[in-house]
A and B are shown apart, each in its own frame.
Chain A
Amino acid sequence: MVTLSHALSDGRGPAPQAQAPRDFARTTLRRRHRPLVRALAEAMFSHALGPTRERLDAFVDEFDNFVSFASRTLRFGLLVMLGVVRFAPLFVLLRFATFETLRLDERIRIIERMAASRFIGLALVLAAYKGIFSLLFFEHDDELAALGYKDERHRHKHALRLVASTTAGEVAE
Chain B
Amino acid sequence: MIDAVVRGREVGVPLSAQADVIVVGSGAGGAVVARELANAGWSVLVVEEGGYWIPEHYSAMTPSHMFRRMAREAALAAAVGIGETPLIAVLAGKCVGGSSVLTGGVCFRVPEEVLGTWVHDLGLTQMSPEALDPHFAAVERAIEVEAVPTHMRSRSTELFVEGAAKLGIRMKPLRRNTRGCKGAARCNFGCPHFAKMSVDVSYLPDACAHGARILSDALVERVVFTGGRATGVRGRFLDETGEPRVPFQIAAKIVVVACGALHTPLLLRRSGLRGPRLGRGLTLHPSVRVYGIFDERVDGWDGAFQSVYSDDFEHDGITLISAYGTANLLAGGFPGVGREHRRLVHRIPHTAVFGAMIHDEGGGSVRRWLSREPLVSYRLAARDGERMRRAMRILAEMAFAAGARQVILPIFGAPPVASTKELDVLLARRPSLRRVECVAFHPLGSAKMSTHPSRGVVKPSGETWGADNLFVADGSVLPTSIGVNSQLPVMAVARQIAHGIAENASHHVL
How far apart sit A127 and B182, CA to CA, in the bound complex (Å)?
33
| A46-B151 in contact (CB<8A) | no
How far apart sit A26 and B240, CA to CA, in the bound complex (Å)?
9
Chain A residues contacting B87 (CB-CB under 8 Å) are 124
Across the interface, B338 reaches (CB within 8 A) one of A2, A44, A67, namely A44
Q: Does B260 contact A (CB under 8 A)?
A: no
Chain A residues contacting B348 (CB-CB under 8 Å) are 147
Q: Does A12 contact B (CB under 8 A)?
A: yes
Q: Name B303's closest neighbour in chain A (CB-CB).
A: A156
Q: Does A18 contact B (CB under 8 A)?
A: yes
Chain A residues contacting B241 (CB-CB under 8 Å) are 24-26
Chain A residues contacting B67 (CB-CB under 8 Å) are 66, 135
| B5-A17 in contact (CB<8A) | yes
| A26-B242 in contact (CB<8A) | yes
Across the interface, B346 reaches (CB within 8 A) one of A1, A12, A147, A153, namely A147
How far apart sit A60 and B370, CA to CA, in the bound complex (Å)?
27
Max count, chain A CB within 10 A of own CB: residue among B68, B240, B303: B68
How far apart sit A120 and B326, CA to CA, in the bound complex (Å)?
27
Task: Scan residues 66-89 of chain B and give those whose CB is less than 8 A from a CB of chain A.
Answer: 67-69, 73-74, 76-77, 87
Task: Scan residues 1-59 of chain A and give those whose CB is less than 8 A from a CB of chain B.
Answer: 1-4, 7-8, 12-14, 16-18, 20-26, 43-48
Q: Name B183's closest neighbour in chain A (CB-CB).
A: A156
Interface residues of A (CB under 8 A from B): 1-4, 7-8, 12-14, 16-18, 20-26, 43-48, 65-67, 69-74, 78, 108, 111-112, 115-117, 120, 123-124, 126-127, 130-139, 143-144, 146-149, 151, 153-156, 159-160, 162-163
Chain B residues contacting A70 (CB-CB under 8 Å) are 73-74, 76
How far apart sit A137 and B184, CA to CA, in the bound complex (Å)?
21
| A144-B303 in contact (CB<8A) | no
Across the interface, B349 reaches (CB within 8 A) one of A47, A134, A147, namely A147
Q: Known: A148-B299, A155-B155. Contact between A136 and B64, CB under 8 A?
A: yes
How far apart sit A20 and B216, CA to CA, in the bound complex (Å)?
13
How far apart sit A162 and B69, CA to CA, in the bound complex (Å)?
38
Across the interface, A163 reaches (CB within 8 A) one of B151, B331, B345, namely B151
- Leading 6 A-B pairs by shortest Cβ distance: A131-B332, A156-B183, A134-B332, A24-B242, A138-B328, A4-B17
Chain B residues contacting A116 (CB-CB under 8 Å) are 413
Return B35 CB to nearest CB of chain A, in Å.
Answer: 19
| A13-B6 in contact (CB<8A) | yes
Across the interface, B52 reaches (CB within 8 A) one of A17, A108, A163, namely A17
| A144-B15 in contact (CB<8A) | no
Q: Does B51 contact A (CB under 8 A)?
A: yes
| A155-B337 in contact (CB<8A) | no
| A132-B76 in contact (CB<8A) | yes
Q: Name A151's closest neighbour in chain B (CB-CB).
A: B184
Return A67 CB to nearest CB of chain B, in Å.
Answer: 7
Q: Known: A21-B51, A73-B373, A74-B373. Contact between A159 and B64, CB under 8 A?
A: no
Q: Does B435 contact A (CB under 8 A)?
A: yes
Q: Does B13 contact A (CB under 8 A)?
A: yes
How far apart sit A17 and B346, CA to CA, in the bound complex (Å)?
40
| B151-A71 in contact (CB<8A) | no
| A147-B338 in contact (CB<8A) | no
Max count, chain A CB within 10 A of own CB: residue among B217, B332, B334, B335: B332
| B7-A12 in contact (CB<8A) | yes
| B302-A153 in contact (CB<8A) | yes
Chain B residues contacting A123 (CB-CB under 8 Å) are 412-413, 435
Chain B: interface residue total (CB-CB under 8 A): 84
Return B368 CB to nearest CB of chain A, in Å.
Answer: 11
Across the interface, B4 reaches (CB within 8 A) one of A8, A124, A130, A162, namely A8
| B63-A47 in contact (CB<8A) | no
Return A39 CB to nearest CB of chain B, in Å.
Answer: 13
Task: Scan residues 1-44 of chain B and give those whose CB is less than 8 A from a CB of chain A.
Answer: 1-7, 9-11, 13-17
| A127-B64 in contact (CB<8A) | no
Q: Known: A8-B6, A21-B7, A71-B373. Contact between A137 and B151, CB under 8 A?
A: no
Q: Name A129's closest neighbour in chain B (CB-CB).
A: B332
Interface string of B136-178 (1 = CB under 8 A from A): 0000000000000101101100000000000000000000000
| A115-B337 in contact (CB<8A) | yes
Chain A residues contacting B7 (CB-CB under 8 Å) are 12-13, 16-17, 21
Across the interface, A66 reaches (CB within 8 A) one of B56, B74, B155, namely B74
Q: Does B327 contact A (CB under 8 A)?
A: yes
Return B367 CB to nearest CB of chain A, in Å.
Answer: 12
| B152-A1 in contact (CB<8A) | no
Q: Known: A17-B1, A153-B182, A156-B182. Contact between A73 and B346, CB under 8 A?
A: no
Q: Name A139's closest neighbour in chain B (CB-CB).
A: B328
| B51-A155 in contact (CB<8A) | no
| B413-A115 in contact (CB<8A) | yes
| A71-B372 in contact (CB<8A) | yes
How far apart sit A11 and B154, CA to CA, in the bound complex (Å)?
45
The 22 listed contacts between A and B (C-beta, < 8 Å) are: A2-B11, A2-B16, A12-B11, A16-B10, A17-B52, A24-B238, A25-B241, A47-B339, A47-B342, A66-B74, A71-B371, A71-B372, A74-B73, A74-B77, A115-B336, A135-B67, A135-B328, A139-B62, A147-B345, A147-B349, A148-B349, A156-B154
